[in-house]
Amino acid sequence: MAQKNKTAAKIFTGSYVALVTPFKGGKVDLDAFQKLVEWHISSGTHGLVPCGTTGETPTLTESEHKSLIVACVEAAAGRVPVLAGAGSNATEKAVELGRFAEKSGADGILVVTPYYNKPTQEGLYRHYKAVNDAQGLPVILYNVPGRTGVEISVDTVIRLAALKRIAGIKDASVDLSRPLQIRHALGDGFIQLSGEDGTVAAYLAQGGHGCISVTANVAPKLCADLHTAWQKKDWKKFEKIRDQLLPLHKNLFAETNPAPAKYCLHRMGKIGGDLRLPMVPVSKATEKLLEGAMAAAGIKPKKK
């Protein structure tokens, strides 16, 4: 495969879905997974992110992780970009996953900050530089301090952006000044993707280009339409969809992601309801909240 540099990363805009991983009988259900991909493409989703946090990657074996990347690229068949999760708290493993994603035909890689290790900013820089140097795909940094215990500082983002393949960031912090600071320093060419559905409107207004979304698992067309309306400056439509999606944004995190999203998808007949320990099904109280949120979004689940 020909090398891709950060110029190619301009494709990473709009509504990207952080795909769940369906399980059946304790094993990854690749058939259900590829059907989800097809549904997302037909619903207008702008891009696909397999093997992120929502995909329960901490519980996947390396072979399962790789099989999902291959299955996603195969099902997408070049119709929409695939931004493959290639993160690890072990730098060598992140390098290997990045190389594998490139060989598999992915369009870019999403690399989370090393979790549990809590590296310094210099450690973060060297981690991402190793990934940058080892393969030819655009790299999207993933800042999610609530999950990993460490945050990439704006200064480190700016430093990393000087590397050839560091093309953008997915930011799931609560600091909405960050996208504006980064935009001021790096301009519009550095891709900024929200990792927080509930603040996506504010993130776009602060200089963001799109969202890697949990909500898009359940409401792909609405999420895609939201970003299309933003791009077309159709403010009335944007505001209507923004408000319609709020109950889903809120209640999909009533318990730990991706259990609520998987409940909704199961109710919609898209996947089985299986999760892998330590993830467990949502409570009855959360089920009621999710039913109401789906109704607000115009989603009609199958009868129980």
Q: Is 288 part of a structural domain of the chain?
A: no
Mean pLDDT by groups of 10 residues along the chain of 304 residues = 56 97 97 98 98 96 98 98 97 98 98 96 98 98 95 98 98 95 97 97 97 98 98 98 98 98 97 96 98 96 78
Res 302: pLDDT: 83
Q: Is 145 part of a structural domain of the chain?
A: yes
Cα distances (Å, whole numbers) of residue 125 to 65, 89, 159, 247: 25, 13, 8, 37
pTM: 0.96
Helix 121-134 with 91-104: angle, nearest 10 deg? 30
- As a whole number of angstroms, the distance between CA 190 and CA 1 comes to 24
Q: Is 218 part of a structural domain of the chain?
A: yes
Res 303: pLDDT: 73
24 has catalytic annotation: no
Residue 163 — φ and ψ, nearest 5°? -75, 150
Q: Is 238 part of a structural domain of the chain?
A: no
Q: Is 254 part of a structural domain of the chain?
A: no
Q: Is 273 part of a structural domain of the chain?
A: no
Exactly one of 16, 125, 128, 142 is catalytic; name it: 142
Q: Is 98 part of a structural domain of the chain?
A: yes
DSSP state of 82: B
The CATH number for 103's domain is 3.20.20.70
270 has catalytic annotation: no
Number of structural domains in the chain = 1
- As a whole number of angstroms, the distance between CA 294 and CA 254 comes to 14
- As a whole number of angstroms, the distance between CA 165 and CA 88 comes to 18
Q: Which residues are 143's β-sheet partners?
A: 171
160 lies in which domain range? Answer: 6-232
Pair of tokens at residue 46? 């702008």
Exactly one of 6, 66, 170, 270 is catalytic; name it: 170
Longest distance between any two alpha carbons in the chain, whole Å: 53
Q: Is 262 part of a structural domain of the chain?
A: no
